[in-house]
Amino acid sequence: MESDTEQNSNLTLTVAAEAAGERLDAFLASQIEGWSRARLQRLIDDADVLVNGNAAKPSYKIRANDEIEVELTPRPSESFSPEDILIDVVYEDDALIVVNKPAGMVVHPAAGISGGTLANALAFHFQQLSTTAGKARPGIVHRLDKGTSGLLVVAKTESAHEHLANQFRAREVFKSYIALVHGQLEHRRGEIDQPIARDPRNRIRMAVVRGGRPALSLYRVRESFQRFSLLDVELKTGRTHQIRVHLASLKHPVVGDEIYGGGRDKTIVDAGIKREVARLNRQFLHAAELGFRHPATGDPLKFMAAMPPELQSLYDLIRSKALTK
């Protein structure tokens, strides 16, 4: 079966009896021309592949008459070149780099995005980066949303990449975010254990979906105000848009989130705060802490990054108004 890799296309495949027992990723690779097994595995991991309406693993053994829905996202541009873009390096050694990504920067090239990414910047500033994730993703082990700032670990060697990727898969990496949300949460601490998949009504969004991929977020209220709460959120899994989807599912969306906010930013009463939120042009979400084992030595490493100025400014404004009341 041929596929158009230049634009999004949706395929529905029905498993014939003779294909029963094959791995899902292997079956798709045999059916979809021009798509490598590795790229298809990424689609499966991102819940862009549904089996009988549910997310599945690449290793799932397909059964006769299974209905498989596949959303083929466009292939990124083949042209990739280093770019002299300033990046904030928090730590570097022979195996890895830790960077503090600003909001507004995409992590790596994708469909319609050929430059200006963190990957382009890394390729310019560092001679050695792992190639495990492909030419256009040098050193990239994990991602942050474009509108989210904070800490990312980058691999210099193939060995480091493999060790770090294994830690992410085993959920051994500590990832904690700072989020400002609308409203006051009922409990000071809690967990959100809700599966996430593509929103069946809007494929550019993610949603809490029955049968989606397991997703677990732990939150702690750091500070409460009349109309806002500042949270620490620890990710136990790494689904696309996980924190934003989970908090929106509690009716406490992240401030500045145009996709999952449900228009809550427009309901802000205080004119000064409303003006500052409008100027943000990003969601109030920052990857503040990152911890993992060094891929070469096994030593535990932990890094912290303070809120960027635009988030700190909004937080200070909200807090000052709360104190003056």
**324 CB-near residues (< 8 Å, 6+ apart):** none
Six-digit token string for 6: 């230049």
**What is the rounded CA–CA span in Å between residue 237 and residue 139?**
21
Alpha carbon dihedral 133, 135, 138, 140, in 10-degree steps, equals -30
82, with CB counted inside 10 A (0-12, 13-18, 19+), is middle
Asked if 230 contacts 185 with a C-beta cutoff of 8 angstroms, the reply is: no
- Based on the residue annotation, tell me whether 145 is a catalytic residue of this protein: yes
Of the residues 45, 48, 66, 145, which is catalytic? 145
> What gap in Å lies between CA 263 and CA 246, rounded to an integer?
17
241: tokens are 């848009």
Residues with catalytic roles: 145
